[in-house]
Amino acid sequence: MLKNINLIIVFLIILFTSKIFAQKEKYNQEIQIQTDNDILTFKRKVADRYYSFGLHADYRKLIANDAKLFGFVGKYKQNIEKVVVNWHAGIEGYTSDQDRDIKVDSVFVAFDRPYAGWLFVENTITAINNKSIFYVKTTLGVLGPASGAEKLQDNFHNVIDNPKFEEWDNQIQNEVAVNLGAGFNKPLVKFKLFDIHSQTSASLGTQETYFRQGFVGRFGKFNAIENTLFYNTNLTHEDTPSESEYYLDFGAHLTTWGYKATIQGRLFGDNVNMDNSGLHRVNVDVSAALNYSRKKFTAFFRHHLVTAETSKGRHFYYGSLGLIFKL
């Protein structure tokens, strides 16, 4: 399996590189790859706990102004300047804190968080003008062993010579999940080298139901919201790229949870070896990121601190490293 994955990665690198250095200059499409892991943190001791890992890939396209989708979106949001469509694929793995698991005769009998895998695809349509950004998204995925999260982590641990987690035997069972989401982003304070944004989003479905409100500030050289990597809106039909950006962003998001399947298990059907009463209804994600974008290349690194998601859990850290290439 690892050999096949390596071949796919090599093929994608060759494909992306050939696209990037092609003679035809276009800036209306891009691809993004991102990895999330607690290895990518500033802590000396790292351990797979809670949100253990994530791998993500995106393809974005700026819709032409004369396209039917642009006209359709324009009926619901006035004065739109851009419409961007994003296709996303991801896999995520969630594990307990092994230091706090309870054993009886070397057998695990309790966890401070269930083991869970989540494999999904997502489509997002974003409407953009110079005052605000609105988006809607649809997510379809599968929870449980069918996600392949356990196998992916086992293979990675083989590569880095770490032991496998036997507790995956008690992971959340297979379940197909569907979610609908929407979000609204708006700058509140604007200066040349500093601004503050309000970010509001909500989700409803069988994988997660929540309402989230956050505030994020940027400091450095950045573009306006209709043309910035901050919202992945720096796509253009012109033959010249957006201005370069390099800035720090920092902020916090408070989430009120209605349901979270990777903790509470399947919404429909029985859940084995699981305590469904442990979800914290409110938690906070505090993050800071370094961002750099020039012509066809973008790189970013984000560090997260997330407060406890369950009554038995505690806060945790993870980092996100991403690259974006214009096609």
Q: How confident is the model at residue 2 (pLDDT cuts 50, 70, 90)?
A: very low
Beta-strand (E) ranges in the chain?
Answer: 29-37, 50-62, 82-95, 102-104, 107-110, 116-128, 133-143, 175-190, 194-205, 208-221, 245-260, 282-294, 297-306, 316-326
**DSSP β-bridge partners for residue 316:** 306
Buried b / exposed e along 195-225 (16+ C-beta atoms within 10 A) = bebebebbbebbbbbbebebebbbeeebbeb
Mean pLDDT for 285-290 is: 97
Instruction: State the Cα–Cα distance between residues 118 and 122, nearest whole angstrom.
Output: 12
Listed in sequence order, the residues at least 6 apart from 110 whose beta carbon sits closer than 8 Å to its beta carbon are 101, 102
Give me the chain's average pLDDT, please.
Answer: 87
Q: Where is pLDDT greater, at 47 or 233?
A: 233
Instruction: State the Cα–Cα distance between residues 214 and 201, nearest whole angstrom.
Output: 9
Predicted TM-score (pTM) of this structure: 0.87
Of 154, 149, 156, the C-alpha closest to 171 is 149
Q: With 50 as the cut, is the pLDDT of residue 23 above it?
A: no
Mean pLDDT for 52-79 is: 92
Average the pLDDT over each of 54-63, 99-108, 300-309, 315-324 and give the range with the smallest value: 99-108
Give the pLDDT confidence score for residue 112 in this predicted structure: 79
Domain that holds residue 245: 2-326
Q: Where is pLDDT greater, at 269 or 85?
A: 85
Residue 229 neighbours by CB distance under 10 Å: 22
Instruction: State the Cα–Cα distance between residues 152 and 127, nearest whole angstrom.
Output: 35
DSSP for residue 146: G
Instruction: State the Cα–Cα distance between residues 249 and 216, nearest whole angstrom.
Output: 7
Contact 296, 18 (CB under 8 A): no
SS3 257: strand
Give the pLDDT confidence score for residue 49 in this predicted structure: 79
**pLDDT tens, position by position, 67-91:** 999 999 988 887 899 999 999 999 9
Place of tokens 């979800």: 279
Instruction: State the Cα–Cα distance between residues 276 and 292, nearest whole angstrom.
Output: 42
Percentage of the chain exceeding pLDDT 90: 61
Q: Provide the H-helix boundaries in the chain.
A: 2-20, 68-74, 149-159, 261-264
Question: How many domains does the chain divide into?
Answer: 1
* 193: exposed, middle or buried (Cβ count in 10 Å: 0-12, 13-18, 19+): exposed
Report the CATH number at residue 92.
2.40.128.140
**pLDDT tens, position by position, 135-171:** 999 999 999 999 999 998 888 777 776 777 777 888 8
Give the pLDDT confidence score for residue 5 in this predicted structure: 52
Give the pLDDT confidence score for residue 276 in this predicted structure: 53
Please report, as a single letter, which amino acid is at residue 83.
V
- Give the angle 63-65-67 at the CA atoms, nearest 5°: 70
Give the pLDDT confidence score for residue 41 in this predicted structure: 83
Q: Where is pLDDT greater, at 239 or 270?
A: 239
